[in-house]
A and B are shown apart, each in its own frame.
Chain A
Amino acid sequence: MNFKRSLIAAAAVLLTSASTVVLTSCATDGKQTASAEAPSARGELVSMRRLTAAQYERSVADIFGKDIDLTGRFETEVRVEGLNTVGAANASISAGGLEQYYAMAASIGEQALAPKARDKTMPCKPASAKAPDDACATAFLTKYGRLAFRRPLTAEELSSRVALARRVAEQRSDFYSGLQEALTSVLASPNFLFRVERALPGKHRGDRPLDAYARASRLSFMFWNSTPDDELLTAAESGALMTKAGLQAQVDRLAASPRIADGVADFFDDAMMLDMFASQSKDPLTFPKYSGALAAAAREQTLKTIVDLLVTKNGDYRDIFTSNDTFLTRELAMVYKVPFGVGRGWAPYTFAESEGRSGVLTQISFLSLFSHPARSSPTKRGVALNEVFLCQTTPSPPGDVDFSLINEPNPLLKTLRSKLTAHATEPSCAGCHTLVDPPGLALEGFDSLGERRSYDNGELIDVTSEWQGKKFSGAVGLGRLLHDDARAPQCITKKLYASAAGRVIHEDDPALKDLTAQFTRGGYRIPAFLKVLAADDRLYKVPAARPAEQQPAAPTKVAARNGASS
């Protein structure tokens, strides 16, 4: 219908840029008509973050129920500073992408208003199912528009959609068909697809507080990685969320919910770049145990491990490098070469010391993601370890770097260690390899899939290493080193802060040092730290722009160059 086409065309044009001017326009679905609730009256638009795939999925499940089947495809995520949630601020939606989002919106609308689902979703019953009913349409769109936009709809946003529902219902003699089109327009709106944040006026640049709805969204996505619920939005509407006590009450409520596990799992899924499993492949002749199902299980294993340690047991974050408590399926146990008890689902398991494993670094997810399809890569593992857990970025290799020493068979250089050592003698390579190879070489006791091994190309593997002036051996030694590395807690503090704020956090950010100290004093407990962060007023302030932020931040190195050869 014409409205659909015009909406797509307008939004496609508007969303292909991320400039503030465009974003302001988007916030009213392209309509510039002034109203009592025009965006300008609700504060200045300061950021728009495209929902990540996980946030979209969780939001839809929370709004309409877990039965909704999402069949569409999402735009590629943009990872900045190691996080998609930060890159989301740089992400736009292409014309083709908008078609996908529109199709998903239509599908959700169809499912949510299917005859069997109406009892659950409809807040009212229309006077006739074959005719328009503005009152019922208004009730429905008010309820779901508020949850989708994470704020109440403006009068115009609501009336235009009620009018749409009316027109379609008249044309098709079907109330629900009209409502479905109106719901589709809500879910295809930039106000749903992007987290639109507005700031209230401040005394000076850098002191503008976010409005209550932006505050509610930050809280909800930080703890649950999903849209704010009714209670949180009510707290925003009443102004309670802008008070210290009101904020603390919501922080306590969100943190006490078991759904904090979702937020923690999604954060680590993002921080550990586990979404890269979607494009991973392994040489089936070398690693016949690998499959898409195994990859999915490996991803889930790591998230289950982390949630169990950090949330369920409220453990020390640093133990993710040393704890051998995990969860396995029968297929995962095959790769770990350990027996698996009766049953087909997940079961807790603790690796014995003799297995030589140490925390998440020695799980299939990390070991296989940061390897080549047919062989391991100490360099990839080292780069990833530095970036993911220590926030240490590695420069890209020179354009003319010669990888032949590593990739070509050499009877004199059988192991990867010997090849890398020879490769790193080249001055242009030595600088970075000295930083990243030592931890990676300690993990050489695990092949590209994550199976234990003792030999590389027929030669006994040497897993001793020296890094940061300390000598250690194997994964266990590396795990202990990372556990005691002060950069690790500072890095996770920085990433949690960046993810919640949706922007790059610089080393000189005054809040970072303080937050890290609180994390340390709190015994490195993630749930407690989230509460500290969420209650910190600095999270809800718009910082003054830095000169370096005139240009979009560069994509994360590991993600950008996961095809590098060494």
Chain B
Amino acid sequence: MTKSWFQGLALGSVMAAAVAPAAHAGAWSKAYVVDWMEPAYFHGGDKMDNNGPGADCPDGTTKPVGWQKVFKTPWRSEADVKFYLDPEKRPELQRALRFRGPNYEDVWAQPWLAPDFGMPEVQSKVAYGFDLDDNPNTGGFTSPDGKVKGIDNGYYKVGGCWVSFRGQPRTSQRGIGINGYMTNGLYTIVIVVSGNEDPMNDSKATLAFYEAQDRIVKDALGQAASDATFTVKPDIKTQSLIPVTIKDGVIESRGAAEIKLRDEAWNGGTPSQMQMTGGKLRLALLPNGQLEGYFGGYREWKRLYQNQAINARDGETNQGIDMPSFYYSLKRNADADPDPVTGENRRISTVYSLRATPSFVMDPTGKRVVTAPELFDRDGATRMAAGQ
């Protein structure tokens, strides 16, 4: 770092440090680091009970199908099944579990070779999210406050009763787990919101998602510390510029947008790209300076399946989820992007909740604060977003 970039830093610090901005006109920007992101699954059960029955899942969280039933194949004898189901043979079961196709195939990779035992789906009509297709007669969900009809959230319908996903916001097993990977340093997602009118009211602002090169800094409470600086990773696969409006501190997308960012983690490996079409978002600027809300769009359902099927050992053996049944459920609830040949939908509506904390975001060189909408390609060059 040298003084040559000081002017840029100073400008950025003045702009980005505002906590309670007053109304003013002129270029402005605010930056954040995502400190929580999870599928937005409305919990219809008791607030204190993540597993019990509720309007969403009348039978409570998904019960195991039963390995005796799932593991038996035409070529596997009852004695073999009995051998593997011995609790002391759990390691052997974990190794053999995926091989239950008609000809020894791996059914995590080829789920269509296994039968559909039926994945319990969400039964209620309440969900978080957006009317992604602008059709209140589709989707079938209404927002918890009843104001938004036709919410499209097929992914919630599929996985909302899954034991690791179910629960109050920020309390589910999976939510804690995947966000733990993120806050412990596996990946970092940052946001820059910028405009030319006013941070609280701007009719033509832009929200940018970037992946950062730096790890999240945790504070004494174990949360992402505010005001840390992050440097953008020049990877356009994990960047998107979303036109938004801001009204009284609430940021909403202007029309459908393509949303690209680093996906949530599924295990200890670095997650791949999250890519949504027809995306929308609604995030509120909180009095404490944080940003909180939802974003959603249509994701390729096969990619969602693959993310979890790559290593389904935990899902299958510890949570009793039958991966082929999950596959069939995703396929059944896919609601967008029909294949021109087969007519089958290739995408499913999804919604994620997000919370972000104030930070600073620098360009890939680390020498300039990002204050305007721009994308950064791998060699560090920048190009302005079309239409901005």
Contact = CB atoms under 8 A, between A and B. Distances in A.
Given A284-B221, A288-B223, A335-B227, A354 B366 contact: no
B229 A340 contact: yes
Interface stretch (A10-18, A259-267, A341-349): A341-349
A331 interface: yes
Given A339-B12, A339-B16, A348-B3, A288 B365 contact: no
A342 B233 CA distance: 11
A289 B231 contact: no
Nearest to A339: B360
Contacts of A304: none
A334 B217 contact: yes
B362 A339 contact: yes
A337 B9 CA distance: 11
B220 A290 contact: yes
Given A288-B221, A334-B226, A341 B9 contact: yes
Interface in B10-41: 10, 12-14, 16-17
Given A288-B221, A334-B227, A354-B14, A339 B369 contact: yes
A285 B220 CA distance: 8
A348 B1 CA distance: 7
A331 B362 CA distance: 16
A352 interface: yes
Nearest to A290: B220
B342 interface: no
Given A334-B217, A338-B13, A339-B12, A350 B6 contact: yes
B220 A291 contact: yes
A289 B366 contact: no
Contact of A330 (B3, B213, B217): B217
A458 to B, nearest CB: 12
Contacts of A342: 1, 213, 231, 362, 365-367
A343 B366 contact: yes
A290 B226 CA distance: 12
A333 interface: yes
A228 B231 CA distance: 47
A330 B17 contact: no
Nearest to A331: B217
B366 A333 contact: no
Given A333-B229, A335-B227, A352-B13, A340 B360 contact: yes
A289 B14 CA distance: 20
A285 B221 contact: yes
Nearest to B231: A342
A284 B366 CA distance: 30
B229 A339 contact: yes
A352 B226 contact: no
Contacts of B1: 340-343, 347-349
A335 B10 CA distance: 15
Contacts of B365: 342
A184 B17 CA distance: 56
Contacts of B221: 284-285, 288
Interface in B223-280: 223, 225-229, 231
A290 B17 CA distance: 19
Contacts of B217: 330-331, 334
A337 B219 contact: no
Given A330-B229, A334-B227, A335-B227, A341 B220 contact: no
Given A343-B366, A348-B1, A354-B14, A338 B225 contact: no
B12 A350 contact: no
Contacts of A349: 1, 6, 9
B14 A339 contact: no
A413 to B, nearest CB: 24
Nearest to B17: A337
B367 A341 contact: yes
B5 interface: yes
Contacts of A331: 217
B2 interface: yes
Contacts of B231: 342
B366 A337 contact: no
Interface string A350-392: 1010110000000000000000000000000000000000000
Contacts of A335: 227
A348 B3 CA distance: 7
A280 to B, nearest CB: 14
Contacts of B2: 348
B228 A288 contact: no
Contacts of A291: 220
Contacts of B219: 288-289
B79 to A, nearest CB: 58
A355 B220 CA distance: 25
Nearest to B222: A288
A291 B219 CA distance: 8
Nearest to A288: B219
Nearest to B213: A342
Interface in A282-328: 284-285, 287-291
A355 B223 CA distance: 26
Nearest to B358: A337
A342 B202 CA distance: 31
A63 B10 CA distance: 45
Contacts of A289: 219-220, 225-227
A339 B226 contact: no
A354 B227 CA distance: 17
Contact of B220 (A288, A333, A338, A354): A288
B14 A334 contact: no
Contacts of B366: 341-343
A334 to B, nearest CB: 4
B211 to A, nearest CB: 15
Contacts of A287: 220
A347 B14 CA distance: 19
A348 B5 CA distance: 11
Interface centre among A285, A342, A355 (most CB of B within 10 A): A342
Contacts of B12: 339
Contacts of A290: 220
Given A288-B219, A330-B217, A350-B6, A337 B227 contact: yes
Interface string A530-547: 000000000000000000
11 contacts: A284-B220, A287-B220, A288-B223, A289-B219, A290-B220, A330-B217, A334-B229, A338-B13, A340-B1, A342-B1, A352-B14
Given A334-B225, A341-B9, A342-B213, 9 more contacts: A289-B219, A330-B217, A334-B226, A337-B17, A339-B229, A340-B360, A348-B2, A348-B3, A354-B14
Interface of A: 284-285, 287-291, 330-331, 333-335, 337-343, 347-350, 352, 354-355
Closest 8 CB pairs of A and B: A342-B366, A347-B1, A288-B219, A339-B360, A341-B1, A284-B220, A340-B229, A352-B10
